[in-house]
A and B are shown apart, each in its own frame.
Chain A
Amino acid sequence: SPSSSLSLISHTQQLSLEEKVSFIKLLARQYTVNIMPIVIEQPTVGLSKVALSKTHGEDSPYFAGWKAYDENPYDNTNNPSGVIQMGLAENQVSFDLLEDYLEQHSEASSGGKGAPGFREIALFQDYHGLKSFRHAMATFMEQIRGGRAKFDPHRIVLTAGATAANELLTFILADPGDALLVPTPYYPGFDRDLRWRTGVKIVPIQCDSSNNFQITPQALEAAYQNAETMNMKVRGVLITNPSNPLGATIQRSVLEELLDFVTRKNIHLVSDEIYSGSVFSSSEFISIAEILEAHDYKKSERVHIVYSLSKDLGLPGFRVGTIYSYNDKVVTTARRMSSFTLISSQTQHLLASMLSNQKFTENYIKTNRERLRKRYEMIIGGLRSAGIECLKGNAGLFCWMNLSPLLDEPTREGELALWNSMLHEVKLNISPGSSCHCSEPGWFRVCFANIGEKTLEVALKRIHNFMAQRGKEIRT
């Protein structure tokens, strides 16, 4: 049993702590592989609807693709025919910058070598968050927006990731059975984050390729009417800007229309801006905060921004998200609710010192943008030479790829058949548009920042071969 081997190992005096850790990792890995079956009788005692619901979406192709990757992951030397993960929006292009920083500032991670700050680190559990961290976070958000919007540290509410931030806002803004309008295609995780525990419904705002998937006033109104017909109370609109999965920013005029719409309907606007620092050129991104500033914060009580360090700083493992609301009641309630999703004080402390180092953040943001652009151009160019077009993007860790000419039939089934052969024959895990509720079949989200350049080259080559093969088949 693991516990007995654990106590054995941990009581062995001859081993150093490091050796013990590596042993335990080995043990853990082994354990993960053959998880001992828990022998229990059939449950008779009832569970809640939440526990039994499928709203977590783990069974959708989006997550199924991840499993296929986990079972057979590509490795340049050990498993060159494995599945390449292009379904995970993770940013690893700037890890080296983070590593350099941590190497030079190792004191930050330990809480300052027994410095007086220690007491705070171990005991600090105030849901306001470390003051230094909130300030650093506000400044970082301003920096990313080129100083064009101001953020008040007192309005920053910290959560363990943007996932929790979006859920928490939904808990505050809507009751079970109410609706949020979300433009399609949207991030597949929203079905879980916004709906699962809150009981809130998502009503899609239909966008299509005819205008590059931009939100129109007509589509907004149609979605609103649609919800009303279904007897749902619409409580707000939730957008991602830059959009996930489109990888494009939202234009100023569209943001103005949105703000006007939510004001007219007296509903909320949640702007999820977790990719704002991953826009290739700073000037191409306009935050809803800038629009509010231009309006002298007149309509601001209904606006809430979600941000996170997972994408822009490439630190999803640190679980840092934030809600920035202009509504006092929402700020107060969100803070209380954040008790369920607090960030470890040790992590807050580490990041506070990292983000307050302006020299580091400036260089990081700039370099990261450049590297993402380079990656983007590399993948777009590679796909184009294989005969594949993508939506014109300017942000994010992915591109929105159009494979509709390849579909046997222009339906969701056709799309999933193609997705299936991409996953099992070409061995690429990409996310089908239908998992993002896209109204047109044949679009796919392809992530390019979670893998190395060499792996990306392999992926492009595989696509190239696939297209050439198809071309041959069609000709013959």
Chain B
Amino acid sequence: MTLTRLSRTWEPQPEENKKTNTPTSKRTAMRVIVPLQGVVQGRGGLVLGSVIPVLFYFLQLYLKRHRNDPNDNQPEPNDPAPSTSPSSSTENLPELPGLARSLSRTLLSPRSPRVPVYVSGRVGAILKDSETPYFVGLKKVKEDPYDELVNPNGVIQLGLAENKLSLDLIKEWLAENAGKAILDGGGKRGELSMSGIASYQPSDGLMELKVAVSGFMSQVMGKAISFIPSQIVLTAGATSATEMLSFCLADTGNAFLVPTPYHPGFNRDVKWRTGVEIIPVPCRSTDNFSLSISALDRAFNQAKKRGVKVRGILISNPSNPVGNLLDRETLYSLLDFAREKNIHIVSNEIFAGSTYGSEEFVSMAEIVDLEELDRNRVHIVYGLSKDLSLPGFRVGVIYSFNEKVLAAAKNLARFSSISAPTQHLLTSMLLDTEFTQNFININRERLRRMYNEFLSGLKQLGIKCRKSNGGFYCWADMSGLIRTYSEKGELELWDKLMNVAKLNVTPGSCCHCIEPGWFSFCFTTLTEKDIPVVIERIRKISETCKSHN
């Protein structure tokens, strides 16, 4: 799942301050108008009724003259900068010119430029979602990124699932093959094939890339499964693949069951634009956060009682952020459950090639391959962002067994196609199976080493982690460090980690974990040298916490 990431090209944004100042005059206006409105409505006198609008007109004129036109300043319409802590972040939301929507419209003529022009109901929810610690943290890193030499006191990124451990291998390959692969891959030798990249291409992806991706998926998920290229729809990232499936499988007001803790990005992918709901299905530390069918059943029945139609289950395997793998038996019982309730299964397998434990990864595709039953309800989301460390290239995959879903997704892919030169490049890269196999092996080895080092670092501090078999995270139990055993206590610790220790980590509450005190640490954005720095920073915080306790 992709989000704002640490960027070396971060831009200083001095205008932000100016911008937050501009609407003050309008806030004043609000305060004045509201009592006036009361007077008019309360007495309803003819005289007052006619005088007040006139007064109001002059007031407006006055304010208009004395306010800065937002466009004079060329405001920086970048994201709002919720700064210090989650509690104060609301104040820093982008205040925009105009009055709140709740104001009476009768007083404000529609001609008045002060009534803000309407925006859809989705906007509010989207702006609000980015106040969560997950998004706030990402922004903090962007503003003040850690660098060993240049900015040693900056924020260290442990909150964004990207893998920098094996970029050297990709870089090597690109340096050798990139230019060629884009322009004359497959064309006559030495001849530019501009029309093959410039003109309109099938919006659901080039067939040659689908063939190459199906080969890569077999390589990653088990050679026994053969993925059929015509069952693939390629999209600009797994984010849009998930959204597309949400659009295809559920109507506004319907719901998906999602086992918790789940990746915070799912709220965006499943809910934002579709109006579909997520019903969290809690998994517990006592069960090692593994999925329980009885919990699914309970959630399903509760939803039914509320009159909410459940359309499917959304799982991630390897699970994100815990790093569990779902075993064959669980997958079978999941399929049984879905059959019984006649609902879909969306299996997010974007970390399938990033496993490093002793357990075996089993794709949902393998289960239905053997089962031959109920294929219609199974849809797999895959992508190259995690397993090939190429989030910038935006390649997501829908692999579905349902013809109608594929047909709809192909049409929907128009809204989210991958650029053709990138597709050409990746076709060549994935066909170089010697390279991809080597990459997968080395990358797994490096993931394992980093995971173990990070784990032992935390262990020194007495922090235990849930054993992970795949993915980029350590899922750590820090409940011993929170002052009160509650979400509030957890967020206080998050605040300290963020603002004192300058570590961007994701608190479990962002992943809808019901037990407070769990945190996820992404270790793949670090170098080995960074680990002692991170551990030292945590140590300092843990000492202050312990002294409190």
Contacts and interface: CB of A to CB of B under 8 A. Distances in A.
Interface of A: 1-4, 6-7, 10-11, 17-18, 20-22, 24-25, 27-29, 31-32, 35-36, 38, 40-41, 43-52, 56, 58, 88, 90, 92, 95, 98-99, 102-103, 106-107, 109-111, 113-114, 118-128, 130-132, 152, 154-155, 160-161, 163-164, 167, 171-176, 178, 192-193, 197, 199, 233, 235, 263-268, 296-302, 314-320, 326-333, 335-337, 339-347, 350, 450
B121 interface: yes
B198 A316 contact: yes
A346 B272 CA distance: 28
Contacts of B390: 122
A121 B7 CA distance: 11
Interface of B: 2-5, 7-9, 11, 19, 69-71, 74-80, 94, 96-98, 110-111, 113, 115-123, 126-127, 130, 142, 162, 164, 167, 170-172, 174-175, 177-186, 189, 192, 194-201, 206-208, 210-212, 214-215, 218, 223, 226-231, 236-237, 239-240, 243, 247-252, 254, 268, 272-275, 311, 342-344, 375-377, 385, 389-394, 401-405, 408, 411-412, 414-422, 425, 427-428, 431-433
B174 A110 contact: yes
Nearest to B435: A17
Given A44-B342, A347-B421, A336 B394 contact: no
B247 A50 contact: yes
Contacts of B4: 126-128
Given A17-B177, A46-B311, A332 B80 contact: yes
5 contacts: A40-B403, A44-B376, A119-B171, A172-B119, A340-B243
| Residue among A126, A268, A320 with the highest chain B CB neighbour number at 10 A | A126
Contacts, number: 408
Contact of B428 (A21, A90, A266, A296): A21
Nearest to B411: A56
A162 to B, nearest CB: 11
B76 A164 contact: no
Contacts of A297: 69, 71
A185 to B, nearest CB: 21
A122 B273 contact: no
A174 B119 CA distance: 6
Contacts of A265: 110
A6 B97 contact: no
A127 B201 CA distance: 24
A337 B273 contact: yes
Contacts of A2: 211, 214, 228-229
> Which 7 interchain pairs have the tightest Cβ spacing?
A110-B178, A345-B392, A317-B420, A114-B175, A28-B207, A3-B226, A347-B419
Contact of B392 (A164, A171, A344): A344
Given A152-B74, A332-B79, 19 more contacts: A2-B229, A20-B432, A21-B185, A40-B375, A44-B376, A47-B249, A56-B411, A109-B178, A113-B179, A114-B172, A128-B7, A131-B9, A155-B77, A172-B123, A301-B97, A318-B420, A333-B126, A333-B127, A340-B236
A124 B385 CA distance: 11
A316 B207 contact: no
Contact of A333 (B116, B123, B186, B228): B123
Contact of A302 (B117, B184, B248): B117
B123 A329 contact: yes
B275 to A, nearest CB: 8
Given A17-B428, A110-B179, A317 B211 contact: no
A124 B218 CA distance: 27
Contact of A329 (B76, B119, B181, B376): B119
A109 B183 contact: yes
B237 A52 contact: no
Contacts of B243: 340
B398 to A, nearest CB: 12
A99 to B, nearest CB: 5
A291 to B, nearest CB: 14
B370 to A, nearest CB: 15
A267 B412 contact: no
| Residue among B9, B195, B214, B417 with the highest chain A CB neighbour number at 10 A | B417
A48 B71 contact: no
Contacts of B97: 301, 328
B42 to A, nearest CB: 28
Contact of B119 (A48, A173, A341): A173
A49 B434 CA distance: 44
B231 A299 contact: no
B335 to A, nearest CB: 12
Given A95-B194, A172-B119, A335-B79, A52 B420 contact: no
A130 B7 CA distance: 9
Contact of A51 (B3, B215, B389, B408): B408
Contacts of A119: 8, 164, 167, 171
Given A49-B251, A301-B117, A164 B433 contact: no
Contact of A314 (B198, B268, B375, B414): B198
B120 A346 contact: no
Contact of B252 (A36, A47, A176): A176
A48 B412 contact: no
Contacts of A314: 198-199
A122 B7 CA distance: 12
A176 B115 CA distance: 22
Contact of B427 (A24, A40, A44): A24
A287 to B, nearest CB: 16
| Residue among B111, B127, B175, B401 with the highest chain A CB neighbour number at 10 A | B175
A171 B393 CA distance: 25
Nearest to B436: A10
Contacts of B119: 172-173, 327, 329-330, 333
A56 B231 CA distance: 20
A125 B196 CA distance: 25
Given A300-B71, A318-B198, A333-B123, A343 B394 contact: yes
B441 to A, nearest CB: 15
B411 A20 contact: no
| Residue among A38, A48, A171 with the highest chain B CB neighbour number at 10 A | A48
Contacts of B252: 176, 199
Nearest to A170: B120
Nearest to A3: B226
B189 A107 contact: no
B127 A332 contact: yes
Given A31-B211, A114-B175, A171-B120, A121 B392 contact: yes
| Residue among A299, A300, A343 with the highest chain B CB neighbour number at 10 A | A343
A110 B431 contact: no
A7 B403 CA distance: 26
A171 B212 CA distance: 34
B422 A346 contact: yes
Contact of B431 (A21, A90, A171, A333): A21
Given A38-B231, A346-B393, A341 B415 contact: yes
Contacts of A90: 199-200
Given A51-B405, A124-B392, A329-B119, A95 B195 contact: yes
